[in-house]
A and B are shown apart, each in its own frame.
Chain A
């Protein structure tokens, strides 16, 4: 919360109403918000778009790579398995072609062939010769299958038609899986017979287990009915039905995705040619995507970091820019108020001057007429000693003089609104200012003490501005004081060519919290009683224009002392009409 306060821009506390209706050109809150939104859009949109694009493209590539890898593995397995069967089928074909029926139908010869097959290729369990009627003519192997008739067996019918046959895998008596391969041969003398061999699938299973699969991958064979043919890690035992549907036939190796719980499975499969086997490679997609996900996490971390940096920079830049506009607008509004104030004063001055002029002429007539009456009475013997008449005329003349002083003061005040730099006697300025307020002081029984050092020289400054400064300060002091208050005005000559004017009252004083804000424009504790909050701000500005400075010492409930320090020699640019 305190961090937010520290980062909160100053202008968010500013209300346009403080400067008056229609005075502020901008809604800074809205301006700041819109700048931040625009900058965010400009900076983050490309970044986010790029991030999303990269995410989607790399994900697509990663998935494609996974599919290709699965297809590659499945294709390799397909080729190997296919070669396994092709090789054994070719061996059997070679045996029947290279041996006559008589030779192959000889028990000892067939036993020798079986032994040779076991020694060279391995995995052969038995061999049998079956004639065209399905009767097993000769058998070498561990079982007693001599003279067994296979005429009604499906495999025999199939080998009769297709010339070869590769069976599904089945479990023998010892629960060892086997597969049967049979080839048909017709000799030149018209004799047709079948060589049938039983193979253990141990070698076959080794081929599949040598596919370098990771822990979560599973590879096995099923037949076209979905019966599992080779050991599976997680999809069932041999001869059990696979829970997944049998994939559609395709000559090529294919890959497909299937949902599984909250994950997806990647299934690569290949139909093994000339057999009923389908090679299945089943992988968990989440496992295969793990490397891609890791790289994405790193990228997302850096993007998030970049967004944070961008947010901080945008906040700082937008706040700084809007703050500059805010300060410029504040200055503009203050200047506007100063111009209004100055214009108001000038209007009042012109009005006062006009009134004074109009009054001065009849006043001059009264003065001359009364003077003439006095002259006549003074020169005529019968009236010369009439003290009452002379006293009455003197009273009229004194009143005229009093009026003249008032009109001259008004004219003087108005005159100095126009004139800029001149030699100023600060004592006369103070007296002029107090002249306007002395009646109020009398009515409110405020004691005004004026203490001016004798050695204060006249100095070059703007009399009008000095008048306004002193009038503002004395007015403020009067406003702060109760009746019977004390106002002390002291003028001292400082070293190094400065003069200090202090205006000290025993009024309400200023709370310490407000003390540092009293020169801010529109800061006022008297808004409810018509204060504009501009008096001290304008005073401060005027003192700065005179190359002076203003110090304030105040204690709440005790009183305040404002001290103006002005240079005796001024370098203010002169303007106006003085010659």
Chain B
């Protein structure tokens, strides 16, 4: 299991990756959509945790581009805003399983990751908050 964390907040994303690593989840992290795409060309990931609001390339836009590279990828979206638009946009995305509002609880995130990967294994595309 390998996941990719994408968030423009360096302090947040690096710490989150480290905490996941401590819990035995192999997580890489990048701070922009462009870096994420570059990373995906060299490594295969099972799941991406994407921040919705990022400069230049938003989480939703990034997902569309990743989909062309790795069609089987699952996604969990994060946002600090939590608006209705974000929720509906994120939950209607293909492959999107969860939507979390920052600050996220690490245990909740791990639970979502496991649920998402279990769905991937079953080939389901359902989603929940």
Contact = CB atoms under 8 A, between A and B. Distances in A.
Given A360-B103, A372-B15, A379 B22 contact: yes
B11 A411 contact: no
A372 B22 CA distance: 9
A353 B83 contact: yes
Interface stretch (A63-71, A242-250, A413-421, A546-554): A413-421
A364 interface: yes
B12 A361 contact: yes
B93 to A, nearest CB: 12
Interface in B37-64: none
B106 A408 contact: no
A356 B82 CA distance: 9
Given A371-B106, A411-B101, A577-B88, A365 B82 contact: no
B5 to A, nearest CB: 11
Contacts, number: 85
A415 B86 CA distance: 10
A577 B92 contact: no
A364 B12 contact: yes
Contacts of A576: 84
Contacts of A419: 84
A39 interface: no
A76 to B, nearest CB: 109
Contacts of A418: 83-84
Given A360-B103, A364-B102, A379-B22, A415 B83 contact: yes
Contact of A360 (B15, B22, B80, B84): B80
Interface string A348-392: 000001001110110111111101100110010000000000000
Give the bracket for the number of chain A residues in contact with chain B: 20 to 34
Given A360-B102, A579-B88, A579-B92, A368 B83 contact: no
B82 A415 contact: yes
A481 B11 CA distance: 48
Contacts of B104: 364, 367
A364 B81 contact: no
A271 to B, nearest CB: 114
A367 to B, nearest CB: 4
Contact of A365 (B11, B83, B105): B11
A391 to B, nearest CB: 19
Given A365-B15, A577-B88, A578-B88, 9 more contacts: A356-B81, A357-B81, A358-B80, A360-B82, A364-B102, A369-B11, A372-B15, A576-B84, A578-B84
24 contacts: A357-B81, A357-B82, A360-B102, A361-B12, A363-B102, A363-B103, A364-B80, A364-B102, A365-B12, A368-B12, A368-B106, A369-B15, A371-B106, A372-B22, A375-B19, A375-B23, A376-B22, A401-B105, A408-B101, A411-B82, A412-B82, A414-B83, A577-B85, A579-B92
Closest 5 CB pairs of A and B: A360-B80, A367-B103, A364-B103, A368-B15, A364-B102
Interface of A: 353, 356-358, 360-361, 363-369, 371-372, 375-376, 379, 400-401, 404, 408, 411-412, 414-415, 418-419, 576-579
Interface of B: 9, 11-12, 15-16, 18-19, 22-23, 80-85, 87-88, 92, 101-106
